[in-house]
Chains A and B, each alone.
Chain A
Amino acid sequence: MDLFQIITEIEKVDPEVYERFDSRRRVFKHLTGIGKKLTAAAMPGFVAALFNKAYGQTAGPSVNDVLNLALSLEYLEFYFYDTGLSVAGLIPAADRAAIEKIRNDESGHIKTLRTALGSAAIPDPGRAAFDYSGGRGSRTGPFATALLPGGTALYFGVAQSFVDTGIRAYKGGAPFLMTNKDVLETALNIHSVEARHCSHIRTIRRGLAAGATGAAAATTLPGTDPRVSPKSWISGLDNGGPSPDTNPSTRDVYGPGTNPPPAGVPTGITFPGEDNLVQAGRTISTDSAISAAAASEAFDEPLDYVKVKAIARNFVDNATTLFV
């Protein structure tokens, strides 16, 4: 077979074919030599490998894909906080200032991501696109009372689940942004703010569980059940999170992601649950002679884009294309 003839034919329909093989064209500098050395029997394998490299389904999400997923999550959060603030008797007076702060941060993140994406940004889906009951549009899912007067405990539980999902999503998305250092740093600067939010929401929940609102929450000990009175960081699996036994369940927020990882995830990055004790081959609890709880708390875990979308999809009207 005439390899060069085949490639020339491909080039007519795909001018980038050489780049797909190797953008630096180093392969082609030496290809003639390689071709001579290859035996006829080895040739099909070589060609297959070459084409698999060029057209194989290994590409992950693009920078814009990652940013639009992030933007979708920001809309999910923004409208949740903004709606909560509009429901009388839901957010305790002492906690309103914090929720307004968080809502405004999300608005800032939306502005920032829209700017980074330019015309590629998804349109604002609007409040109606989301179903915070977890009913995918039925509005009668298990969290339906979270946005009703008196639904305070559930509201903050759902908030915690959203923001922990967001933190894990940014962590999982960051490796896809490494080609653009400024965009990467922007995403990291959103990621840590989300972690600050989550810490505070978890603090509020400790307070609520003990009947305290406002500043007293910060000096309230976590309870024995991390589902209702968590630490400000994730300890083990937090017993499955605020609502492990509903459908949808918050177990997915803290459990493992897609393994093996989905397309494009760099080799070496995996998605264990938040109770993971092993980092880069080192068992943290053993190395530092600390409890499994402390070792798991010391490291948050990323979540892959497939799992993130599956979690978030539960909270949109399934007539929309968000998180598909």
Chain B
Amino acid sequence: MTKKTNPVPAEVQPAAGLFGALPRRDFLRYTGAGLALTSLVLTGCDDDDNNEVDPNADTVNVGSGDTGVLNYAYALEQLEAAFYAQVIAGGTGTYFASLGANSAERQILSDLALHEKAHRDFFKNAIPAGSIIKDLAPDFSTIDFNVGRRAAGAPAGTKLGVLDAAMAFEDLGVAAYNGAGRYITNPVNLALAGKIVSVEARHAALIRDLMSYNTFVDNDVVELFTPTGSASTPGVGSGSGLERSKKPSEVIVVANQFLQTGSKLNVSGLG
């Protein structure tokens, strides 16, 4: 596994430059060519060959362009998969074991563990070996695996419960995928990200409903719309009904709290 320690230079992002130079109608015609090109980028944009000392030497640079986005997604999926695996394994806490054998919550967490494992394994297999980031070492020391949810009004610094953490990871994943779509140049990769993000959103909504019913959408994750005048007149009001997507630089502030030194993410190549 290659650890990427240096930003990928801008000149290895030809696809973005190509599409950026084309008017829309031409883009559609060039899609075929773009696909071929970005496929090459995917395999060609691999680890940097220089070995200069880097100020971010202890971070994991996801890279840039489509490979960068795929690595970024892979990093977040590694985090989620590791988290649910630890919930279910039970070695560090008893919350999951305390759930009834036929409880819905047990089945939900089990399903989520399978889905996130599938996502992680998929990226691991799909990203070319030369450009894939290493296996990340998570740091779940701020999560209490004995507890479902933190007590309301718990003082700052209180560990997250299993559901609190699940909600944080799922919401973060949705915001991250949505915010990273703009850096993808190959439509096939965009479609792949789309296939995953809606499943993450389904997860997030259900975990939120378990935490507090009817918060499947709420103002912390979606800019809620408030009608002015009759609610039956569409499109008139404040707000947008849009997910609050996050830039990669915003996402890693949260994600890095759950990663050990040496596994913290560097997304300087994205955006």
Chain A positions near chain B (C-beta within 8 angstroms)? 19, 23-24, 53, 58-60, 62-63, 74-75, 78-79, 82, 86, 97-98, 100-112, 114, 124, 167, 170-171, 174-176, 178-182, 184-186, 188-200, 203, 214-215, 217-222, 231-233, 264, 266-269, 279-280, 282, 284, 287-288, 290-291, 294-295, 297-302
User: Which residues from chain B contact A174 at a C-beta distance below 8 Å?
Assistant: 181, 190-191, 194
Give the complex CA separation of A279 and B196 in angstroms: 11
B residues near A (Cβ < 8 Å) are 19, 21-29, 31-32, 35, 102-105, 107, 111, 114-115, 117-119, 121-122, 125-126, 174, 177-179, 181-182, 184-185, 187-188, 190-192, 194-206, 209-210, 213-214, 216-217, 222-227, 231-232, 234-237, 239-245
Residues of B within 8 A of A200 (CB): 205-206, 209, 214, 216-217
Does the CB pair B202–A233 fall under 8 Å? Answer: yes
A-B contact pairs, 20 of them (CB 8 A): A23-B23, A23-B26, A60-B28, A100-B231, A101-B217, A102-B217, A185-B245, A188-B194, A192-B243, A197-B216, A198-B202, A199-B201, A267-B32, A268-B35, A279-B192, A280-B188, A290-B117, A294-B118, A302-B191, A302-B194
Scoring B177, B210, B240 by chain A CB atoms within 10 A of each residue's CB, the highest score goes to: B240
Nearest-Cβ distance from residue A15 to partner chain B, whole angstroms: 14
How far is A286 from B174 in the complex, measured between Cα atoms in Å?
Answer: 26
B200 cross-chain contacts in A, Cβ below 8 A: 192
Please report whether the interface of chain B is mostly helix, strand, loop or mixed according to DSSP.
helix
Q: Are B199 and A266 in contact (CB under 8 A)?
A: no
Which of A59, A103, A181, A232 is the one whose CB lies under 8 Å from B205? A232
Question: Do the beta carbons of A111 and B224 come within 8 Å of each other?
Answer: no
* A300 to chain B: closest residue by CB: B198
Q: Is the CB of A189 within 8 A of B245?
A: yes
Residues of chain A contacted by B32 (CB below 8 angstroms): 266-267
Docked-complex contact A188 and B213, CB < 8 angstroms: no
B231 near A179 (CB under 8 angstroms)?
Answer: no
**Structural contact, A107 and B243, CB atoms closer than 8 A:** no
Q: How far is the CB of A192 from chain B (nearest CB, A)?
A: 4
